[in-house]
A and B are shown apart, each in its own frame.
Chain A
């Protein structure tokens, strides 16, 4: 079966599995579940799987997308449960269907984040963070392939809001996933560079949902 798409979660301890290791883990999980991934032809055959928008190590997601092909037929309904059963802790397959949208059309990512403050009172932080991101431009120094460069990350942020929580501030945002790609970690790094008093002691992020340009859910 061609052009299949998997939706899965990568949370908990699994967030530390790198992209490359995840590909390998997926390959083995399919084999354990008794599914034969379709291999490429050629001298060094490899399974035809591809994960859209590789996730940074340490970042969680409940909306990962992986495209794959299978040899023969498989009941797509039972596939998520069968795969989840043989996954490492923290990886849960939630859906499997025939690809609808092209990966290139995945435009926005909804994310949440938690900014932890050890010494500072987070209740005052949320408002300050909102003010910071209400600016028209947030120009940061960014490592690029050609060394240091300057980049305005503000246009890549479609929505952003902060709310105080216990010992932390919760972030909710919709950011550009592709062209340009905004790594959520830069939302904290911008603070380190431009507003160190707001820079959290630790920041963790979770991808929540993928959207098309028109904010319909990417399928």
Chain B
């Protein structure tokens, strides 16, 4: 171990997250590989080690015998300061080597608030921030993850983005990089060739022209780069690699458990939900595969919990059979099985009873809107009747905590809808009084609201976000409408939402803003401990950019959007249609009832959408 590191560790919180050496880490002989990849997660170890995508791609990249892929996480503030004082550069956990020893830095970027941390990690690696200033081919700095569906604010800093699912694409890219390294290609030549790999977006090969009003006039691809970069997907998840021997952290992380992914995509089409659109088409794993992989992973890790992951667990058709298969193994071994993302509308008594055998946790519902009209407008197919019915069963079964999540500021929302949230909480309380088996234990109903953020590639991508002031007015309206002691109201600050709204639908001109925020100390800004709203506003001012332009302006349907070069599969015409239906408070059926021809199927050659 590096002596500088050894001397720092006694002074920082939870040092085990900075040492590596965990069970199942992948060690290789660095003299026998052609490429060393630093897989960088722009957040803490505890968050990154809970991320299934990170775990899958760590294994797929390491499945190439000529690649050694190691993990790098962002140090928490105390460690960051100590490293700076000691002159210790950022290093990878497996080898402890600093990032200047690597051929590629691969970033997994799941959300916009991680952007400044990406910049910080590039800097901690001792590299110039801007892609154009890193003139050598190596190290290549690339990024993927769900934030890459509009990567424009990061365009100056990242050599190339991988759009969509990385299992196959990353390895194709690394194969090309290996050749380029061996044959001494220039960075320019490499990037041009890389742009020919499906799903690879090289920002420097696209020219952006702007109108006088600041909107994008045109996007022009150069040097043979595709006009549209089409998202990559894995067609058959059953045969796709799933690591049943993931790294087992030696210290507590956020989700310390086996994660089983049921399916990708979502049949629901909630109009506010970016994830519901960008992960289409729907591809499910067979329950046999999941049971086998789940048991194998439990054996290999020794975890005491297993979780079923998907955007909407209740929509997994063979769910009861899968639960039976897993419970067979789990129950006798005191292993907990948890199912997040259940829907209130088809939450079955059967499944609930099964789970009850092992562990009982609170009920959480994402209701999103306070009235049926609003829920219809956003295509959130939850009726109050279903919700109350589910709660009645749950209360009778002994549950006594319910969490309800809503968004304020959704398109078409009125004050009546907001008061409706309080009314609904009241009716759930009444439902508890009528159904609870043991009233002495009391009930706790928690209402949480956050500020709606319009996201690219969703039907609401043209919608304005409400202002901070308006959000606060709506929060206060809801606060004054809730008057029961059993109902607790939590609201998220709108500050982060404003910055997120600017970045998620931003363009390349935000690059200098990101750099400025980072220069002024911005990093790990997904954490309230480190986020500073004023720092963002000052940087926006400095470069003459405004929040209203990016966040609060309704965009024209014929406007060129900064992310129009990215094709996630779903056609724009479908998004336009869904948005129009919102204004008519008209529902769209879920994909299982009727295919709406969203367009995502064309990503699957010969495949079948499970919608």
Contact = CB atoms under 8 A, between A and B. Distances in A.
A32 B10 contact: no
A202 B4 CA distance: 10
Interface stretch (B18-26, B45-53, B274-282): B18-26
Nearest to A46: B334
A28 B302 contact: yes
Contacts of B250: 14, 17, 21, 25, 88
A57 interface: yes
A12 interface: yes
A202 B465 CA distance: 55
Interface in A39-69: 39, 45, 57-58
B6 A202 contact: yes
A87 interface: yes
Interface string B244-272: 00001011100000000000000000000
Contacts of B252: 21, 24
A183 interface: no
Contact of A31 (B6, B15, B302): B302
A29 interface: yes
A90 B23 CA distance: 10
A21 B304 CA distance: 14
Interface in A129-152: none
B44 interface: no
Interface in B280-321: 299-304
A39 B251 contact: no
A117 interface: no
A159 interface: no
Interface string B75-94: 00000000000000000000
Contact of A12 (B7, B21, B299): B21
Interface residues of B, number: 28
A201 B19 CA distance: 21
Contacts of A29: 23, 302
Contact of B334 (A13, A32, A39): A39
B1 interface: yes
A58 B23 contact: no
A88 B302 contact: no
Contacts of B248: 28, 88
A18 B251 contact: yes
B219 interface: no
A90 to B, nearest CB: 6
Given A13-B21, A29-B302, A39-B334, A21 B16 contact: yes
Which of B1, B248, B302 has the largest number of chain A CB atoms within 10 A? B302
B15 A57 contact: yes
A25 B6 CA distance: 22
A18 B300 CA distance: 22
B21 A89 contact: yes
A16 B248 CA distance: 15
B547 interface: no
A21 B20 CA distance: 14
A45 B89 CA distance: 44
Which of A30, A45, A58 has the largest number of chain B CB atoms within 10 A? A58
A27 B302 contact: yes
A86 interface: yes
Which of B3, B18, B19, B22 has the largest number of chain A CB atoms within 10 A? B19
Interface string A181-213: 000000000000000000001101000000000
B9 interface: yes
A88 B251 CA distance: 11
Nearest to A185: B10
Contacts of B303: 28
Contacts of A28: 23, 248, 301-304
A86 B23 contact: yes
A116 to B, nearest CB: 8
Nearest to A58: B10
A70 to B, nearest CB: 14
A17 to B, nearest CB: 5
Contacts of A16: 9, 15-16, 18-19
B441 to A, nearest CB: 15
Interface string A86-122: 1111100000000000000000000000000000000
Interface string B507-538: 00000000000000000000000000000000
Contacts of B20: 13, 89
B21 A32 contact: no
Nearest to B302: A28
A185 to B, nearest CB: 9
Interface in B14-56: 14-16, 18-23, 25
Nearest to A56: B10
A155 to B, nearest CB: 27
Contacts of B14: 18
A32 B15 contact: no
Interface string B500-512: 0000000000000
Contacts of B300: 32
Contacts of A14: 21, 250
Given A28-B301, A28-B303, A13 B1 contact: yes
A21 B17 CA distance: 11
A88 B22 contact: yes
B23 A45 contact: no
A32 B251 contact: no
A17 B252 CA distance: 10
A87 B24 CA distance: 9
A16 B21 CA distance: 10
Interface in B217-267: 248, 250-252
Which of A21, A28, A29, A88 has the largest number of chain B CB atoms within 10 A? A88
Interface in B169-190: none
A34 B302 CA distance: 9
Contacts of B251: 17-18, 21
B302 A18 contact: no
A32 B24 CA distance: 12
A58 B301 contact: no
A30 B23 CA distance: 13
A157 B252 CA distance: 36
Contacts of B333: 31, 36
A39 B20 CA distance: 30
Contact of B25 (A17, A34, A89): A89
A202 B15 contact: no
Contacts of A27: 302, 304
A45 B6 CA distance: 37
A89 to B, nearest CB: 4
B21 A18 contact: no
Given A39-B334, A57-B15, 17 more contacts: A18-B251, A21-B16, A21-B252, A27-B304, A28-B302, A28-B303, A31-B333, A32-B23, A32-B300, A32-B302, A36-B333, A58-B9, A87-B23, A88-B22, A201-B7, A202-B6, A204-B6
25 contacts: A12-B1, A13-B19, A13-B21, A14-B21, A16-B16, A16-B18, A16-B19, A17-B16, A17-B250, A18-B14, A21-B250, A21-B252, A24-B252, A25-B23, A28-B248, A30-B302, A32-B23, A57-B15, A58-B10, A86-B302, A88-B248, A89-B25, A90-B21, A202-B3, A202-B6
